[in-house]
Amino acid sequence: MIRLLSIPVILAGLVAAAVFWSGDAGDRQRADFAFINRGDNKCLDPNGMSWMQDIRLAYGLWEGLYTADPATFKPILGCADHAQVDSTQTVWTLHIRPDARWCNGDSVTSRDFLFAWRRFLETPGEYTYLHFYVQGAKKYSSDFADYLAARKKGDTTRPAPDFASVGEKAVDDQTLVVTLTDPVPFFPALLAFPPYFPMHEPSMHHFLEKDGLHYNQKFTRPPFLVTNGPYRLAEWTFKRRLRMVASDFYWNRANVKSRVIDQIYADDGTAAFRTYERGDVDWLADLDSDLAAQILAHGKRTDLHVFPAFGTYFYSLNCLPTLSDGRHNPLSDVRVRRALSMAIDREPIVKNVGRLGQPVSFTYLPPHVFEGYVSPPGLPYDVTQARKLLAEAGYPNGQGFPHLSILYNTESLHGDVAQIVRRQWLDNLGIQMDLQGVEVKVFGEMQHTQQFSVSRASWYGDYNDPSTFTDKYKSDSDDNEAKWNSPEYDRLCAEAQKEPDQHRRLALLSQAENILLSEAPIIPLYTYVNTYMFRDQVQGIPLLANAMIMFQPVHVIH
Partner 1 sequence: MTRFIAWRIVQLPLILAVVYLITFALVWLAPGSPYGNNDRALSEAAKNDLKARFHGENWEAFLAYYPWRIVAHGDFGPSLSYEGWSVNDVLSSALPVSISLGLFSILIALLCGCAAGVTAALHRGGILDLLSLSAALIGISLPPFVVAGMLIVIFSDGLHWLPSGGWGQFRHMILPAVALALMPMAYIARLTRVSMLDTLGHDFVRTARAKGLPKRTVVWKHAFRTAFLPVFTYLGPATAYAMTGSFVVETVFNIPGLGQHFVNGVKNRDQTLILGTVLVYAAFLLVLNLLVDIGYALIDPRIEITARPE
Q: Which of residues 440-459 bind partner 1 (CB under 8 A)?
A: 440-445, 448, 457-459
Q: Residue 45 burial by CB count (10 A; 0-12/13-18/19+): exposed, middle or buried? A: buried
- At residue 236, what is the residue type? W
Q: Contacts by 79-84 with C-beta closer than 8 Å and gap 24+?
A: 79/108, 79/198, 79/228, 83/188
| Phi and psi torsions of 325, nearest 5° | -90, 10
Instruction: Identify residues 96-125 at the interface with partner 1 (CB under 8 A).
Output: 123-125
Q: How far apart are CA 10 and CA 15, in angstroms?
A: 9
- Out of 242, 256, 272, 506, point to the residue binding partner 1 (CB under 8 A): 272
Q: Closest separation between CB of residue 295 and partner 1, Å? A: 16
- Out of 31, 34, 44, 525, point to the residue binding partner 1 (CB under 8 A): 44
Counting contacts by CB under 8 A, is residue 14 touching partner 1?
yes
Neighbours of 47 (CB within 10 A): 21
Q: How far apart are CA 389 and CA 379, in angstroms?
A: 13
Of 75-83, 318-326, 435-443, 490-498, the window that binds partner 1 (rule: CB under 8 A) is 435-443
- Out of 21, 299, 384, 557, point to the residue binding partner 1 (CB under 8 A): 21
- Out of 30, 74, 111, 274, point to the residue binding partner 1 (CB under 8 A): 274
Q: Closest separation between CB of residue 29 and partner 1, Å? A: 12
Instruction: Identify residues 124-163 at the interface with partner 1 (CB under 8 A).
Output: 124-126, 128-129, 141-142, 145
- Out of 268, 434, 488, 501, point to the residue binding partner 1 (CB under 8 A): 268
Taking alpha carbons only, the member of 166, 111, 114 closest to residue 143 is: 166
Of 157-165, 272-280, 420-428, 488-496, the window that binds partner 1 (rule: CB under 8 A) is 272-280
Q: How far apart are CA 273 and CA 435, in angstroms?
A: 32
Instruction: Identify residues 208-237 at the interface with partner 1 (CB under 8 A).
Output: 211, 214, 217-218, 220-221, 237
Question: What is the total count of residues that contact partner 1 (CB under 8 A)?
Answer: 71
Binding mask 294-323 for partner 1 (x = CB under 8 A): ------------------------------
Q: How far apart are CA 257 and CA 262, in angstroms?
A: 14
Q: How far apart are CA 129 and CA 520, in angstroms?
A: 26
Instruction: Identify residues 236-265 at the interface with partner 1 (CB under 8 A).
Output: 237-240, 265
Q: Closest separation between CB of residue 458 and partner 1, Å? A: 6
Q: Closest separation between CB of residue 447 and partner 1, Å? A: 8
Taking alpha carbons only, the member of 46, 34, 20, 444 closest to residue 266 is: 34
| 205/218 with CB nearer partner 1 | 218
Taking alpha carbons only, the member of 421, 395, 364, 424 closest to residue 436 is: 421
3-state SS assignment for residue 555: strand
- Out of 40, 86, 427, 488, point to the residue binding partner 1 (CB under 8 A): 40
Instruction: Identify residues 407-426 at the interface with partner 1 (CB under 8 A).
Output: 409
| 14/71 with CB nearer partner 1 | 14
Q: How far apart are CA 77 and CA 169, in angstroms?
A: 19
Q: Closest separation between CB of residue 551 and partner 1, Å? A: 20
- Out of 143, 201, 280, 382, point to the residue binding partner 1 (CB under 8 A): 280
Q: How far apart are CA 500 and CA 69, in angstroms?
A: 24
